[in-house]
Each structure stands twice: as C-alpha cells, then as structure tokens.
Structure 1
Amino acid sequence: MKLKHLLFLFALVIFTFSSVAQVQTKTSTDVNKDVDVTKVYEQVVKEGYGTPLIYKDLANAYYFKSNYAMARKWYEKLFSVEPPTDETLKFRYKQSLKALNANIEKNKYLSAPAVGTN
C-alpha cells in the first residue's frame, strides 16, 4: 500500500514538472529572418547610396542564390567602379557568365590585366 502511494506521488511529481517545463518555454522571435538583404541593398542603391561594398554583397548574394543574371549585373557594376583585383570575385563572375552562356573571351573585365602585374 505504501509502495502504491509512493509510486503515485512520484508519477504526480514527474507529470507536474513536465507540465511546468512546457509552460515555461519561451519562444523568441527573430524579426530579421524574413528580411531579404538583396531587396534592402537594391533600395539603398536606388536611393543613390551605392558603394562598391554593397555592389559586391549584392553580386555575391545573387551568385549564391543561383540568380546569375542579377549576379552578372552587380559584378559588372562593381567592376565598373573599381577594377577587378580579387580572384574569387573574378572566378564567380566568370562562372556567372558561363551559366548564362555569355562570351567570356571578349569580356572586358576578365581580359583586362590584373593590377600589379607587368
């Protein structure tokens, strides 16, 4: 009899703790999870505040989203402001052109000699 009461009490305590644990879970909301950075940056550029860093971020964002047409647009905008010196950016631009079946040999940004080479 004593064992039954002890088991009942134990089960009641476990049930209470599991109920309390479920009630006390706090859900935090991330207000930035639905923000598309590319749309924000494009709005910044539209308002006239474009910088090479923003062009680079836009180009890379579209490259990794596999939107190669937009990636090409922003890589070319970046390269028109400052010459392409970063090999990674040049590689991604070249891959974007390949994905779009564009002519790589006659591209003015890829055919230009790198800065610092003779």
Structure 2
Amino acid sequence: MLNEKLLEILSHEGVVAIVSCSNGDAHVVNTWNSYVVATEDGRLLIPAAGMRRTQKNIEQNNKIKVTLGSKEVMGHMYMGAGFLIEGTAKFLEEGSDFDMMKEKFSFLSRVLEITVISAKQTI
C-alpha cells in the first residue's frame, strides 16, 4: 500500500495534515514528515503530544484522511509530490509500537496509528 514515492516523500521534510471528523465537524491538525514512521506492514505511526480533539473524533469515527508531500520529490510532471491517504485510526498508549516510538520521540504521550486503506498521489 505504501509505494516507493510515498516513502521517498517521508524521507524529506514537509508538512502533514491530519483530518478527523465527528458530528459533521472536520478538525485538522499538523505534524512533520520526519515524525511519521511507516511500518513494514503498511501502517503509519505518528507521535502525539496534543491531538486531544483528534482523539475524541476518532473515538466516535475512526476514519481519517492525511495529506503529505515534499517539494524535494519529483511529482507527476514537476518537482513536488504529494499524497492523499485514507484509512482508519486509533491511539496507542502501550505496546511494542508505542515503546519504539517513545524511544524516537520522547515528547509523545500517545501514538496515532493509521491503517492505510488507500494512498493516492495527488501531485
């Protein structure tokens, strides 16, 4: 699910937008490409220190959308590539993935785990 272009984008810095929604109200929070860890089985792990409203939304509706990109990666026609990722999400507060992420990002209190359903290159 996570193709080489998406993984290349994650190796360059860029902004990530995470969109959750509940009760008809969308909420957007940002992080950085360098904070996103792709697992071998195609999940995305993101450290969370805040993201409290995102967590509340996910407890009611676990569907999530994420956009990410980098101007340093060749896109469809020019430099600059980005993806729209859709999936389901949950927050981890323990376990091996939590422990691995806590070693990398000591500031986190939870880990946002995204199970990718689709990843479409948009630019």
**Which band: TM-score by shorter chain?**
under 0.3
TM (norm. structure 2) is: 0.25
TM-score, normalized by length of structure 1? Answer: 0.25
- Which is strand-richer, 1 or 2? 2
Higher RCO by CA contacts (8 Å cutoff, separation 6 or greater): 2
More helix by share: 1
